[in-house]
Chains A and B, each alone.
Chain A
Amino acid sequence: MAVWLLIMLALPLAAAGVGAAIGDRPVSGWLSAVAATGSFACALVAVFAYHAVRGRHALGSAFFVDGLSGVFLIAVAFVYGVVAIYSVGYLLPGIGHVRLRRWYWPLLNLFGLALLATPVMANLGVLWVAVELTTVVSALLVTAEGSDESLEAGWKYIVIGSAGLAVGLLGIVVIYAAGVPTLGDHYTPTYTILAHAAPHLNAMLVRAGFAFVLVGFGTKVGLVPMHAWLPDAHSEGPSPISAMLSGALLAAALYAVLRLGAVTQLAVGPSYVHVLLLVFGGLSLLLAAFFTLRQANYKRLLAYSSIEHMGIVSLGIGIGGPIAAYGAFFHVIVHAAGKTLAFFGAGDLLSRYETRDADGVRGVIRAAPFTGVMVLLGALAITGIPPFGIFRSELLIVTGGFSHSKYALAGLLVVFANVAFVGVYQLFHRMVISPGGATSGDRTRIGRREQPLMAAAMLISLAVVLVLGLWIPSPLNRLLHAAASVIGGRV
């Protein structure tokens, strides 16, 4: 397994190095696409071919893969792969507005490297370093369009994100200190060591540490009220980067919360972790759902949808029990696929209409039928309409809520997921279906032919979110059960 994980990390590193050396040439893009898809393949092999779901260390104790990390690794690697494919088309002349082209590919690959490293690092300190690296790299990618707005968004992101991560590190340090009386002054803070010693950790310190972790890494997850950076960064960054932020970065930060949540749960019992996740998840769901109703910027709307979905995952874990936890982890994967589709569609729209304002976009289905269909399907997928995977995951979380007699929480999810549906669908319906010509942009640009790689990336994301709504392959099923057992209890 170590070899596959090393190759998985070496590919983006090599692609970043070559990209930095040769600059803005088409081969950089192709190389990145090959590296990213190769990394995804390696992640699949590492997770599924070595019974990693049971929890395995590799390369000494450098890597650790279990069900929890497996779920997040698959989600992150998938998003990195399709984003790299989409970006090759998006960066062609006349399509996407990316001014920092010289650094796009090296930064994208470094971003991919940091995201892939996050779920597999056994040492919690190194995990923090990986998440911090995602911030510094992705903040520059957010500004890649070079506008005043993107600069403002990037600055807010790096300042708020870095401050949050500093608090997250404080949480790790406090949890480390909780283990000192039992494990001694010098020990390696890995999940397995801390989990083994959990019953002997100082409960008060673990509670305080997890509160810091949740607030700190929760800032990167975009949980309310630490979400201020997220709508700006997601809406002003280039669309493939928005997809990466939404589908992969939020998930990677959430992984850090849940990994330390699993330690906390073993030390102080599940209710403390569950209550905190319910509070932050519920607030995120509630606020984001209402904010989707008042958005005129369609990329900003998708950003609020991301906050909503992170709220749903947190709520799913917070409800407790294996069914809701299974649903929450399944949600991480289908949200990654659904949100990449939605942001890819939004990127295609933006490249045609050259506006983020929904009022400037009308009649897409006639002007660009393929894009119109993809955008609409993306909107339906992320709002949890059957038969898409998000419907299935939300249904599982609601079922878990009912089976644990948490009717109010299940009801909360149903009501606010529907509020978000109204907010998202009405805006995208207006842009795609409503008659009337475009109010901005020129006809030739709007009606241009589909870019094959962008279309392929959209179709791949669509296929994943659709197929997973109908059928969950048994290896994935086992992985999800294993993930649920780490933090939700055994089936």
Chain B
Amino acid sequence: MLAAPHYDFAHATAALLAILALLSGLSLLLVKQVHEQVRVYAVLSAFAAGYTLLVGIDRVDAALIVLGVWTALIKVIVIPVAIDRAVTRQVSEHEVPLVVQVPMSLLIGVTLAGLAYWSAAALPIHGALLPTPALGMPLSLVLIGFFFMITRQNVISQIVGLLTLENGVFLATVAIAPGLPFAIGFLLLLDLLPAVVFYGVFARLIAARAKTTSIEDMTVLRG
């Protein structure tokens, strides 16, 4: 008879955080308001930071704990506030035109998550504290981020989509390569800051020129 797998508090919490991260990724697809999208991203990042902290504490790894705190600081507070202040207050319209409507978006999102879990199941890899397949949730976020970017024709939404995708990659790093040297994780996080600043500069340029953050009119260059 096979012994039942042992789940302790850390494993249960990690599984819960993974589910919450996936649900917040999916809930992005429900939200039409730009401000709300930024807030959902902050919530998703909070779960990512929580998972990083949990893995750090479980492994007694100071570097991961510091990375978790930094993640919380930068992704939950600094980036959402910066995006909100830099761009969304500059434009009058806040509802994003959708290429694919909400019910269909959600259906596609769930399908993508299923596809991610199915693909990840083929990879022989164990994640830190996560139930197998360890890459299922991070890959789901990557695919949902891509889908969100493609179907939301607004600069802020596309930034949020990109950052969601990046959160997926970040979670994959913590889950399957928690020992990746701290310097690298820190560099990646630092690298996110200038990237967001540059996205912000772009978004402001676009908003200043067109008085909108919609990119529906960006169709001049073809062929």
Given A166-B142, A166-B169, A202-B124: A173 touches B180 (CB 8 Å cut-off): yes
Question: Size band of the B side of the interface?
Answer: 35 or more
B195/A185 in contact, CB under 8 A: no
List CB contacts (< 8 Å) of A277-305 with chain B.
291, 294-295, 300
C-alpha gap A148/B162 in the complex (Å): 23
List B contacts of A185 (CB < 8 A). 178-179
Which residue of the partner chain, among B122, B172, B187, B205, contacts A143 with CB atoms under 8 Å?
Answer: B205
Whole-angstrom distance between the Cβ of A162 and the nearest chain B Cβ = 6
Whole-angstrom distance between the Cβ of A298 and the nearest chain B Cβ = 13
B169/A204 in contact, CB under 8 A: no
Of the candidate stretches A41-49, A128-136, A394-402, A476-484, the one touching chain B is: A128-136
B177/A132 in contact, CB under 8 A: no
Which residue of the partner chain, among A125, A155, A176, contacts B187 with CB atoms under 8 Å?
Answer: A125
- Chain B: interface secondary structure? helix
List A contacts of B173 (CB < 8 A). 169, 173
Instruction: Return the CB mask of B170-197 against A: 1 if under 8 Å, else 0.
Output: 0011001111110010011001001100
Which residue of the partner chain, among A151, A162, A291, contacts B195 with CB atoms under 8 Å?
Answer: A162
B86 at the interface (CB under 8 A from A): no
Whole-angstrom distance between the Cβ of A214 and the nearest chain B Cβ = 16
C-alpha gap A129/B145 in the complex (Å): 21
List B contacts of A231 (CB < 8 A). 221, 223
A148/B198 in contact, CB under 8 A: no
B76 at the interface (CB under 8 A from A): no
B220 at the interface (CB under 8 A from A): yes
C-alpha gap A126/B185 in the complex (Å): 10
Q: Which residue of B has the minimal Cβ distance to A187? A: B179
Whole-angstrom distance between the Cβ of B195 and the nearest chain A Cβ = 5
A151/B205 in contact, CB under 8 A: yes
A180 at the interface (CB under 8 A from B): yes
List B contacts of A174 (CB < 8 A). 123, 125, 135, 172, 176
B7 at the interface (CB under 8 A from A): no
- Chain A: interface secondary structure? helix
B165/A151 in contact, CB under 8 A: no
Instruction: Return the CB mask of A156-171 against B: 1 if under 8 Å, else 0.
Output: 1011001100110110
C-alpha gap A139/B155 in the complex (Å): 15
Whole-angstrom distance between the Cβ of A417 and the nearest chain B Cβ = 22
B6 at the interface (CB under 8 A from A): no
C-alpha gap A167/B142 in the complex (Å): 8
Which residue of the partner chain, among B138, B142, B179, B191, contacts A132 with CB atoms under 8 Å?
Answer: B191
A247 at the interface (CB under 8 A from B): no
Which residue of the partner chain, among B135, B180, B198, contacts A139 with CB atoms under 8 Å?
Answer: B198
A149/B220 in contact, CB under 8 A: yes
List B contacts of A159 (CB < 8 A). 149, 158, 162
Whole-angstrom distance between the Cβ of B117 and the nearest chain A Cβ = 15
B165/A300 in contact, CB under 8 A: no
B218 at the interface (CB under 8 A from A): yes
C-alpha gap A180/B127 in the complex (Å): 12
Which residue of the partner chain, among B125, B142, B199, B220, contacts A148 with CB atoms under 8 Å?
Answer: B220
A236 at the interface (CB under 8 A from B): yes
Which residue of the partner chain, among A169, A186, A205, A295, contacts B123 with CB atoms under 8 Å?
Answer: A205
List A contacts of B124 (CB < 8 A). 202, 204-205
B221/A129 in contact, CB under 8 A: no
A222 at the interface (CB under 8 A from B): no
C-alpha gap A156/B150 in the complex (Å): 11
Q: Which residue of B has the minimal Cβ distance to A184? A: B179
B142/A155 in contact, CB under 8 A: no
C-alpha gap A189/B165 in the complex (Å): 23
B181/A155 in contact, CB under 8 A: no
Pairs across A and B, CB under 8 Å, 19 listed = A129-B187, A132-B195, A136-B198, A155-B155, A155-B206, A156-B221, A159-B149, A162-B162, A167-B169, A169-B173, A173-B180, A174-B125, A184-B179, A186-B179, A187-B179, A188-B181, A189-B184, A202-B124, A294-B223
Q: Give the B-binding residues of A (Cβ under 8 A).
A: 123, 125-126, 128-129, 132-133, 135-136, 139-140, 143, 148-149, 151-156, 158-159, 162-163, 166-167, 169-170, 173-174, 176-177, 180, 184-189, 202, 204-205, 208, 231-232, 235-236, 291, 294-295, 300
Beyond A123-B184, A173-B177, 11 extra complex contacts between A and B, CB < 8 Å: A125-B187, A140-B202, A148-B209, A154-B202, A170-B168, A173-B172, A174-B172, A180-B177, A180-B179, A202-B124, A202-B125
Q: Give the A-binding residues of B (Cβ under 8 A).
A: 122-125, 135, 138, 142, 145-146, 149, 155, 158, 162, 165-166, 168-169, 172-173, 176-181, 184, 187-188, 191, 194-195, 198-199, 201-202, 205-206, 209, 215, 218, 220-221, 223
The 5 closest A-B pairs by CB, nearest first: A185-B179, A125-B184, A186-B179, A177-B176, A136-B198
